[in-house]
Structure 1
Amino acid sequence: MSRRPACSLLPLLRSRRCLYDATTARPFTSVSVPPDVISSTWPPHSPSPLHPPPDPAGTWCSASCSSTSPALPPFTASHLRAAVSLLATSLTALPGPDPDPVSALHDHSFPTLLAVSPLASLELLSLLRSRPRLGLAVFSFRRVLSPVPSISEFALAISLAGRAGDHDAAAALFADGTAIHSPNLGLYNALMSAYMHSGLLDNCIEVFHALERDPRCGPPNVDSYNILIALFGRSILVDHMERTLQSLDASGQPRTIGTYNAIISGYLTAWMWDKMEASFQEMVSFHVAPDATTHKLMLRGYAHAGMICKMEQAYERACKLGIKVDILHIRAMLCAYCKFYHVGRIQKIEDLLKKLGPDDYRPWLNVLLIKVYAQEGLTEGMELYISEALERNTIVTAVKVMRSIICNYFQYDAVDRLALFVRRAEDAGWKLCRSLYHCKMVMYGKHYRLEEMHGVLDEMECLKFDRTKKTFWIMYKAYVSCGRRTEANTIIGMMWKHGFAVRDDMSDQ
């Protein structure tokens, strides 16, 4: 079977001679990139599903790892982008967690694309950031091709290794890159970023100090400090984070949006809401424009802090700016509405729930929804989420949630519904408490269903719930309300027998 490239490579091959018009290598410093060049800058960073702080290394590539390849004509660049994009789509569609990309790379003529411009490799690795292990496999294949990978490609590969959690591979790539090329800031920053993603605090600091000592690279730049700040913030080492910020200011380098995002994220992680908000206000006063990451960090911070009004303002601001609020932040808002009372919160919760897909179910959110609907007195909604939790084998272990359910049934005098819920909770292994059974006894006694009330005592005995003074008091009140004094006096005797004190007015009646 003959292999066909993803799109026509004829326009690329015709203009290939343009690549060798300029042969002078450019220094690895900040340079302006023409708009028609496939830029080696990285796409904007988006936080991962377990919601870590933003990646300050997402901005250093353009400043520290600018490509040495000459600019391509616009026509050639657009065709190269299209071919690389289609190749990336094919690679990400490969089945399995760690697929072999070699066949797809040949099918889409990746060696030819690389011959047209080394920028094809940079673009492809950038597009595979969401699949770091796949990106590393692509880079392994790319290393056997000509020309030798540039220092920018090594930096991207190191970052991919960090995102994959393979810090040993990151260190090996750093050693290979420095053996082939003279190291630069971008390579050091990439290794620091890899250690940051792996949570290796000491290793990251060691690389930072090695960068300070390396005369070939100059002093650390603002991105180097941003990575350290973010790492200290993730580790809730607020004092170290603030001292690193002071060191950045002492170096004479201006703070960037990455600096403020890392600081805000650090205060958010430490639940220091006042400092988080103060950092945001300081950023605005210094005319540093917030980006999408900043707005989402503030939204999440206000949600965790229970500042509902400010959270809603941050959400409206993000929507107005066209920022996509992802599921992570939708869940944070839902959690805030469930935990903190707010007027009209049920309607707002239901509006947000519409944004969740069928695969976005989380047991903890299900339990919170049960509790909030119980607190709001919405029995139908509460039972709907109880049924969903039972169907998904979610086990409730919080006594407060169980007591909220009890209060809801008691409020509406729904004793049969309560009895059905208790049976289902027992079968599902939910956290049971004596209050469940006391509530059933009270409600049965209220309806003069004394035989069923006595049956609850047998249920408590099976579950090894001892009879307390409150248990006997409930039975006493039930018999008195029915006018059955003989049984009521018997209960008083049982209380004396179990060592519970009895009020004089009870004995005198």
Structure 2
Amino acid sequence: MALVSTATVASSSYHCDPHLFPGARRSWREPRWSRGGAGARLAVLQRAGGGGLAVLERAGAGAGSAVLERAGGAAAAAARREELVPSGNARNSYEVESLIDRLSNLPPRGSIARCLETARHRLTLQDFAAVYREFSRRGDWQRSLRLFKYMQRQSWCRPDEHIHAIVIGVLGRQGPALLDKCLEVFHDLPAESRTALSYTSLIAAYARNALHEEARALLDQMKATGVAPTAATYNTVLAACARATDPPVPFDMLLGLFAEMRHDASPSVRPDLTTYNTLLAAAAVRSLADQSEMLLHTMLEAGVSPDTVSYRHIVDAFASAGNLSRAAELFSEMAATGHTADASAYLGLMEAHTRVGATADAVAVLRQMQADGCAPTAATYRVLLDLYGRQGRFDGVRQLFREMRTAVPPDTATYNVLFRVFGDGGFFKEVVELFHDMLKTGVQPDMVTCENVMAACGHGGLHGDAREVLEYMTREGMVPTADAYTGLVEALGHAAMYEEAYVAFNMMTEIGSLPTLETYNALAFAYARGGLFQEAEAIFSRMSNNAGIQKSKDSFDALIEAYCQGSRLDDAVKAYMEMRKSRFNPDERSLEGVLNAYCIAGVIDESKEQFEELQSSVTMPSVIAYCMMLSLYARNDRWTDAYDLLEEMKTNRASSTHQVIASLIKGEYDDSSNWQMVEYVLENSTMEGCDYSFRFFNALLGVLWWFGQKGRAARVLDQAVKFGLFPELYRDTKLVWSLDVHRMSMGGALVAVSVWLNKLYDRLVEDEDLPQLASVVVLRGEMEKSTVTRGLPIAKVVYSFLNDTLSASFHFPKWNKGRIICLKSQLKRLQSAVDSSNGSLAAGFVDMTNSRLPAPGSKIYTSEDQLDNGSRHLPDEPLAEEKESELLAL
């Protein structure tokens, strides 16, 4: 319980007692630095040098430096020990607890005498001290002062010096406005009863309110009256002087006070660890590396062992002076003389190197540490693991972790660093493997562990692993947080498991983990990738109306993507304009979303304008943006523009990814050695997370299809499936052979349909048992019920392609408008046709060879017979109903 802490800087106006500080009468309303006389106090202040130093606050509080909080806190702790204030955790007696309750419930004008009436002869001064400590913990200085004044009037409980010191500490923490009350309490104590305890308490009250001059004057007065100061008294004054900032106390003045302390006549007054840490902190703020080294030698000669705080200040001093190499030499010299620094010293030095990204120097500290005979700790390795991870040196992370396991067992914090490093680096499956390794080695995961693993599962679409982690948390009695559930929702969304994601979302509320903005966005993005714009709108409506959470930029990005995939292109542009009106600055993702809308709509001028805006906003447009524009040019037979843009990609020296993708499109990387470069680029895209991978592969598949590179497109699709993308793509049962392309671009869907049809051909040739129907899913969600579905671009294009290939074998069922199906009877006819072809269709239903790139001016997609977009294939309702009757038996 901190009664006399010196860690707070208050305002510059304060009370000044004219009797305690003769010749310095002034009002607390006057400016702090106005002089009212030239008496003894002024002489004391001149000796102290005036001013102050911004050194005591590692947490800030007006000091401007993050170095001396620990030193100031240690000085305050020493003063508290001098006041003999025990810990507030001690169990109080029944009488004390009863008195605290009665006083707490006492009205402002209630009688304290009545509260004490029943326990008058059973309470000691130690009991009253416990009451004051409780009121101090609460910050209840009013009741403390009322009780003190009552005790002053009573002979049976008149306060002793200990009580006075506690009350001064309680009042001193309330700011400079109550310093006059502190003086009143101090003067209530007879002069002959004042010892270092009461003086130190009053000095601490002034020190914590940044009045270092007054604290220094009190020390001089204390000596003049014959009261011997203690080490805690000196430390409190030293900390106050080190805290001063306007102006700062010169370091020589601090050393003068330090010398005064060293030469004090009392043998009990000697600089201790708190003293040295205060001075080391002051030296660190001033970048006084030489003085820090001198203090360290003095410290060791005096037999005072440095602690973690000491070493941190020494390292900070050398770091500020730009001479960290000397700090390493100093530690080696210490080790040679038998004073080996502890692990915290090397850790601080290592962290100083990591702050400037000096990886080699940080590793050198580790090797020096081992050579000096100081065993590295888990914290030592964590610093390097984090540094390697931030620099993308993941092989270095793995190698260092293996070394660590031979030297020191990894702890939970170490695993948490690894989970974050590998999760940020895109090694999502490795995160899950490390989690299982953690459990096998007996290291207990904490909530941060589970959140990091769930986040990695979310980004990587590992919904099965995410569920296992959630089950582990439940078994261990851990209540999953909103961040943990967000990872599960995201993972399920990447697998197009919309119902499961929504159930997980609702489950959060049931267990008390309310969804956050990130959770809503994760669910909205899940809907967006499948074009379920109505569901995305509903979830954002629930977010705004029920949860009171406003949309973020990511929310608008999700809406734009949902409208694009759902063929609501005007709404996508409106969502973008609403984003701008909401004062969100669009980033590359936002601009690509609008570009996608224009490209799907086939408007060239608007697309070019958007692409140029993207070029001006980022250093270099992504491969996704280039592929969108290339697909647009190809679909409109603008081959000259397409080849110019393709050449721009290929000659891009800033990105090897752009060069490889351009060469892939042109057919220059088909051989096995060059195809490895393609596979490397494709695999690297998955390390950005499933969200990026979906958009990357959709754009790439689209441009390959429209450029006629069907064979290469099939190979790319095969890679996407191997990477775990589009897990819903192929689903086969005894009843249904299904292809789901509802999350693919138009070009990507046509690639998938072509590959699927050829697989269907192989199965027909092999005379497999036929299912009741074959189905191609083009839409999911509420749009499955709408009759306008068949008029949407992706549905029209896929339907047209199916019937161009298999001559009206597929149709839209009446019971679901998001599917295009082929019944068993039609499959049998197809099987008979395949059997009667005598191998003329040996390659399959669709020729998947790579075409020669069209010459400029070629009309491939804009000729008259290509402009109906499949409308000629839409079946009449009677024919569809006739085909529906075949399903009644199912």
Determine helix, strand or coil for the equivalent of 2:314. Answer: helix
Aligned partner of 1:148 among 218, 234, 240: 234
- Distance in 2 of aligned mates of 1:239 and 1:405: 46
Larger Rg: 2
CA pair 505-318 structure 1, distance change in 2 beyond 3 A: closer
- Distance in 1 of aligned mates of 2:527 and 2:388: 32
Task: Write the mapping of 1:306-317 to structure 2, written as runs, cut at 5 A.
Answer: 306=428, 307-310=430-433, 313=436
Residues 127-160 of structure 1 deviation map (CA, whole Å, 9 limit, x = unaligned)? xxxxxxx999699998876522254324655787
Contact 2:388 2:394 in 1 (8 A): yes
Aligned partner of 2:373 among 238, 245, 252: 252
Residue 325 (str. 1) matches residue 487 (str. 2)? no
Residues 419-451 of structure 1 deviation map (CA, whole Å, 9 limit, x = unaligned)? 542442454553435634425625xxxxxxxxx
Aligned partner of 2:353 among 232, 247, 259: 232
Contact 2:385 2:397 in 1 (8 A): yes
* Aligned partner letter, 2:351: A
Determine helix, strand or coil for the equivalent of 2:591. Answer: coil
Counterpart in 2 of 1:409? Answer: 563
Counterpart in 1 of 2:632? Answer: 470
Aligned partner of 1:503 among 845, 859, 863: 859
Residues 281-335 of structure 1 deviation map (CA, whole Å, 9 limit, x = unaligned)? 4444445462x53343233223223334146558989998474539xx94x6676
- Distance in 1 of aligned mates of 2:214 and 2:454: 45
Counterpart in 2 of 1:242? Answer: 363
- Distance in 1 of aligned mates of 2:295 and 2:209: 14
Contact 1:374 1:382 in 2 (8 A): yes
Offset at 1:270? 3.0
Offset at 1:457? 7.9
Counterpart in 1 of 2:386? Answer: 265
- Distance in 2 of aligned mates of 1:221 and 1:424: 58
- Distance in 1 of aligned mates of 2:572 and 2:565: 11
Counterpart in 1 of 2:285? Answer: 167
Contact 1:222 1:256 in 2 (8 A): yes
Task: Write the mapping of 1:260-299 to structure 2, written as runs, cut at 5 A.
Answer: 260-288=381-409, 290=411, 292-299=412-419
Contact 1:233 1:266 in 2 (8 A): yes
Contact 2:385 2:401 in 1 (8 A): yes
Offset at 1:189? 0.7
Offset at 1:250? 1.4
- Structure 1: 5+ residue runs without aligned partners? 7-46, 48-57, 92-98, 123-133, 443-455, 483-498
* Aligned partner letter, 1:267: Y
- Distance in 1 of aligned mates of 2:210 and 2:610: 57
CA pair 409-201 structure 1, distance change in 2 beyond 3 A: farther
Contact 2:527 2:535 in 1 (8 A): yes
Counterpart in 2 of 1:435? Answer: 595
Determine helix, strand or coil for the equivalent of 2:375. Answer: coil
How much is the aligned-residue C-alpha RMSD, in angstroms? Answer: 6.7
CA pair 371-220 structure 1, distance change in 2 beyond 3 A: same
- Distance in 2 of aligned mates of 1:84 and 1:177: 37
Offset at 1:356? 8.4
Contact 1:298 1:314 in 2 (8 A): no
Contact 1:264 1:279 in 2 (8 A): yes
* Residue-pair matches, total: 388
TM-score with structure 1 length normalisation? Answer: 0.51
Task: Write the mapping of 1:342-491 to structure 2, written as runs, cut at 5 A.
Answer: 342-343=462-463, 351-353=484-486, 374-375=528-529, 379=533, 382-383=536-537, 384=539, 394-395=552-553, 408-415=562-569, 417-425=571-579, 427-428=581-582, 430=586, 431-433=590-592, 435-439=595-599, 441=601, 470=632, 473=635
Determine helix, strand or coil for the equivalent of 1:325. Answer: helix
Offset at 1:246? 1.5
Offset at 1:170? 8.4
* Aligned partner letter, 1:202: G
* Aligned partner letter, 2:234: V
CA pair 87-257 structure 1, distance change in 2 beyond 3 A: farther
- Distance in 2 of aligned mates of 1:216 and 1:224: 16
CA pair 78-213 structure 1, distance change in 2 beyond 3 A: same
Residues 362-382 of structure 1 deviation map (CA, whole Å, 9 limit, x = unaligned)? 8xx998876565346664675
Residues 92-149 of structure 1 deviation map (CA, whole Å, 9 limit, x = unaligned)? xxxxxxx995568998999999939999x99xxxxxxxxxxx9996999988765222
CA pair 501-108 structure 1, distance change in 2 beyond 3 A: farther
Contact 1:236 1:269 in 2 (8 A): no
- Distance in 1 of aligned mates of 2:195 and 2:378: 35
Contact 1:191 1:207 in 2 (8 A): no
* Aligned partner letter, 1:299: F
- Distance in 2 of aligned mates of 1:79 and 1:172: 41
- Structure 2: 5+ residue runs without aligned partners? 5-58, 60-68, 91-129, 141-172, 187-193, 220-228, 236-270, 471-481, 487-507, 614-628, 639-705, 707-790, 798-854, 866-890
Offset at 1:219? 4.6
